[in-house]
Structure 1
């Protein structure tokens, strides 16, 4: 996360909403002295006592998969729109180029899901993403041939990242004057970052 305080976001509902809106995340971990990354879609779980988890699955061929049973610490990174910002757009002197962006991180321990939790994850993930396609009739595994779903499950492993740290960076030129920000918004036009800068 960016270290500057003006860009820091720690509002739980904002961040969980961001993960729900952009559920395809990068998982980063260092296991056995090596860095690993994987990409996976997540389902946000709000559990008992205010706990939060991100459930996801990995191919059994993924380099991280063998370590899931023993558990490991990881960071899940969700990214939003981003844009290069030219110093010329500020309308003032002595600035350098920068980048505006929106991202969120969730850090915690990754452990395997039970069989029942894994099935629930796959069903919930499909339902979550099929809902984005409405009015299309949602796909469900009931459309599969008997036994096919169970066969395919053997090729993947269900995982849960129990969130211990949740924070985000909304770097939208908050450290600039109103006039400088307006110059960046005007230059970016209809770019999504310009929209976020208008209504952060």
Structure 2
């Protein structure tokens, strides 16, 4: 993550961001080399729960390992032309969190709980009402046999919010005028 303390943020806010974004890249070293899985997740405090297909290269190795979950948010390129002061170089604004910790495989009941909780959380966000009760139980059971649930216990958080904190009001206004709305909103909130 960015080395400047100017861009760091507190663990609780970083974990709230992880829960809001709900999608991570989970990295781990397996015998064949480093691997990454792209996963939706549920973040509850310092517990990140997710599932992988059994065919995923990480699945047979992840339980009992230490892994890194990386969550990225909105980002944008910044041209020096957008600054009032012409002494700047190109840069990038971004929000990102790395969560590191041990991973354990979930049992079947815990996996079903994860799937139910995921559906309840994300169906609500999508203004929908799907539950597994709408699914053939045999098909649901077969799908559960094809995946493995995991829980990463976050021991270390590294979080960066690089959002023009080092710029004065005039330069910040120039950046806000040019970056996408989602990034501009984050810069304004600083």
Instruction: Indicate the larger mover: 190-199 or 83-92.
Output: 190-199
- Quote the Cα distance in structure 2 between the aligned partners of 1:19 and 1:101: 14
**1:57 maps to 2:51:** yes
Q: Which runs of 5+ in 1 are unaligned?
A: 47-51
TM-score of the superposed pair, with normalisation by structure 2: 0.94
- 1:167 Cα offset (Å): 3.0
Paired with 1:146 and 1:154, the residues of 2 have a C-alpha distance of: 12
Is the 1:55–1:159 contact (alpha carbons within 8 Å) kept by the matching residues of 2? yes
TM superposition shift of 1:72: 1.3
Answer whether contact 1:87 1:97 (CA < 8 A) is retained: yes
- Asked whether the 8 Å contact 2:28–2:62 carries over to 1, the reply is no
How far apart are residue 10 of structure 1 and its match? 2.0
Aligned to 1:49: none
Per-residue CA distance 1:26-49 (angstroms, 9 max, x = gap): 111122371110011111123xxx
User: Superposed, which structure 2 residues align to 1:1-200 within 5 Å?
Assistant: 1-12=1-12, 14-32=13-31, 34-46=33-45, 52-69=46-63, 71-134=64-127, 136=128, 138-188=129-179, 191-200=181-190
Runs of 5+ consecutive residues of structure 2 not aligned to the other structure: none
Which stretches of structure 1, 4 residues or more, deviate above 4 A after TM superposition? none
Alpha-carbon shift at residue 187 of structure 1 (Å)? 2.4
Looking at structure 2, the residues matched to 76 and 113 of structure 1 have their Cα atoms a distance apart, in angstroms, of 17
Q: Deviations along 1:159-185, whole A, 9 cap, x unmatched? A: 111110123111001112222111111
Q: Distance in 2 between matches of 1:74 and 1:87?
A: 37
**How far apart in 1 are the matches of 2:44 and 2:33?**
29
- Which TM-score applies when normalising by structure 1? 0.90
How far residue 191 of structure 1 moved from its aligned partner, in angstroms, is 2.1
CA RMSD of aligned residues (A): 1.4
* CA positional deviation for 1:146: 2.8
The number of residue pairs the alignment matches comes to 190
